[in-house]
Amino acid sequence: MDWDQFDLNPKVIAALKKADIKSIKEVLNLSGADLQRLMKLSSADIQCLLKTVSHTLRRNSMLTGAVYICTEDVFPSKRLQQLIDQQHKLRADVPAEIIQKIKFGNSIFVEHAADLDTFHNCITQRISLLLSRGMVRLVVIDSIAALFRCEFGASDSVTKARYLQTFGAQLHSLSTRFRTPILCINQVADAVSESEAAQCSCSVVDKRVTPALGITWANQLLMRLMVSRVLQPEQSPGAGSHHTGSLRTLTVVFAPHLPPSFCYYTVKLEGVRGIK
């Protein structure tokens, strides 16, 4: 990399070359203290270098990645490797040699947060650092409900609501400061009426659901999407099917800039494919 093309102090450029630091990735993989030790520069010079590098990455989103925060299950690394291996099928319009050169796995940062304190530290410290350095442009949290399922009982509704509001405000702040979308995955619960509960029955045909964390969390969101499988009639063995994967829908439940609408898609070996 030609550091002379960057808007940096000549002293910083000379120090980068002397320390044999040849790429943005090398800079971002080192802490501020390590850079200061290697380059023998002041803390102010190092901060200037990091800001310049972060600004460059934010302008070129192709060089940035994503954060995936797991709160319940182990990160599906096997499935991720499948998706990476099948990218040439999913992106058939992109030349194969370009697909092969992209190291998709190197741009995905995985965090595990099984309790509220770890999650709070994750979004306020670790994720904030990655965003400020321009290393990621997408944050996925899977899932919010798992953090609250075992921590609070029915009598802790006020404390639970305060935590939800706090996390919602912190995620809004990160998204606004760094202009980064944050996708929060959440489960749903069956909405059963009193008469259905008394009869111990729930209609499968007219299934009604509600967000698992209720109205408090729903009010923290700027946009709400619902994904679901489509119940299809069984086919005879020789009938064949138009779709090789399970048919699903993506529905816009609420969005300030979109009307209520939906689309069909399937999840196959190579990933998600929309259906016209």
Per-residue pLDDT tens over the stretch 119-176: 999 999 999 888 887 788 899 999 888 888 777 777 788 898 899 999 999 999 999 9
Q: pLDDT grade, residue 203 (50/70/90)?
A: very low
**Do the Cβ atoms of 184 and 171 come closer than 8 Å?**
yes
Query: What pLDDT digit, counting tens, does each position of 17-75 carry?
Result: 888 888 777 887 777 788 888 898 888 888 888 888 777 766 665 557 899 999 988 89
Candidates 139, 138, 130, 132; CA nearest to 71 is 139
197 has pLDDT over 70? no
Task: Give me the residue spans of the domains in the chain.
Answer: 3-59, 64-187
Distance CA 19, CA 66 (A): 29
